[in-house]
Structure formats: C-alpha cells, structure tokens
Structure 1
C-alpha cells in the first residue's frame, strides 16, 4: 500500500465517521477521522483524499475553501442542494445516502490513479481526478 493511501474522513456525526472508516478499512485502507475541518487539515495534505460530509460546512465560502484551498482531493458527501454547487467545481461528489460499495469504488479509482502516477518512488498526486 502506498503511504498516500491514507484516507481522511471529516463528518460531524460520530456514527457516520465510524461507518465510513470501517467500510474503507475492510478494503485495506488506513483512515483518520475528524469532527472538524481544521483538525483534519494537516493529515489531509498527506492523504490520498479527504472525504467531507457537507453537514460540516457552514457556508458556501467554506465549501469553496475545501474544494480549492486544501491542496488535496476531496470526495464530498452531499444532499441534493449542495450537489449542484460542488459539481460545478469539478469535485468528486457522492449524493447521500451512499453505499459502502460506491465509496470504495471511488477510493479504489483514486488509489489506482496515484499508483499509475507514481514516479521514482514518490507519488505525484493528480489535482482533480473524476469518478471512475
């Protein structure tokens, strides 16, 4: 497993965080879970991607910061309202409720892209891969 295959999960609901982490860990990914974006920022910079539940975003400005300013790939879990804004930003969007299989499919695609782009032992991560 690449070092960059750590997945960061950010959601206000502990049950959702645990459920997402479990679904990914069963598939062999390591995870770190946080209940606030600011707590997740350092880990996000080194991760394969950060999964963000839109319930944690207080404003559209915060959504823009997550999508553009974080320096990492974001998988945004959204309801129908947030989905439109996120889709316009070329984000990876999963509309709730999601299945573990759908989430793992997206993460597997990101991991495969990272493996293909691995150069000389260092991973060069793509800026914004789309869903596979």
Structure 2
C-alpha cells in the first residue's frame, strides 16, 4: 500500500464513497472518505481529493472550500455543474469509467512522488 499517498473522497452518497474507496484500495492506495467537505477539510493532506458534485448542491461554502483545498481535485460531475475549472482540478463526467479515474489518479501519484 502507498502509505504516503492517500486520497480523500468526498461524496454525500455512502454507496459512491464505498465504491470509490474499494476501487482505489484494490490498486494499493490509502483512502479516507467523508460525506461533507467541512469534515474533509480536517483530514490530513492528501495528494488527491475526489469530490462528487452533489456536494455543491448541499453545502453553501462548497465552491470556496474546493478553491481553498491544498490537494489536486478530481470533480465528478453530471455535466451541468456550475463550478468552473481552476488550477489543479480535473473534471470527470458521470457515469465515470473506473479505468479513466484510475489513470488520472496514477498520473497524479507519479507527479506527487
């Protein structure tokens, strides 16, 4: 397991959090999953944060929180999200392809370490 390369997953849907965590842990990544951004903000720094855009609908300060994050962000969107890309953000449109997500995570891991 990559002990120094953890991934934070933020999604209100427990099934999505579990699915993403399982897929990434099978590949050797360490994950921490949260149902809100404010909980994830207290997490140790990760090289990558995966965020479901449903958070944007449920948390008033979500867009600003995303902009303030110290890690690279992979935003899972329905294609209709109002969030515009900013430096360090990669947008994947749902439904996501697991191999596409893994390819992005692996490339981020290679750069981070």
TM-score computed with the length of structure 2 as normaliser = 0.87
**Inter-partner Cα distance in structure 1 for 2:73 and 2:48:** 6
Q: Structure 1's 60 and 79: CA in aligned 2 closer, same or farther, altered over 3 A?
A: farther
Which runs of no fewer than 5 residues in structure 1 stay unpaired? 116-132
Aligned to 1:57: 56
Which runs of no fewer than 5 residues in structure 2 stay unpaired? none
Aligned residue for 1:81, secondary structure, equals: coil
RMSD, matched Cα = 1.8
Higher helix proportion:
1
Corresponding position: 1:69 with 2:64? no
Larger Rg: 1
TM-score computed with the length of structure 1 as normaliser = 0.75
Deviating beyond 2 angstroms after TM superposition, the runs of 4 or more aligned structure 1 residues are 58-62, 84-87
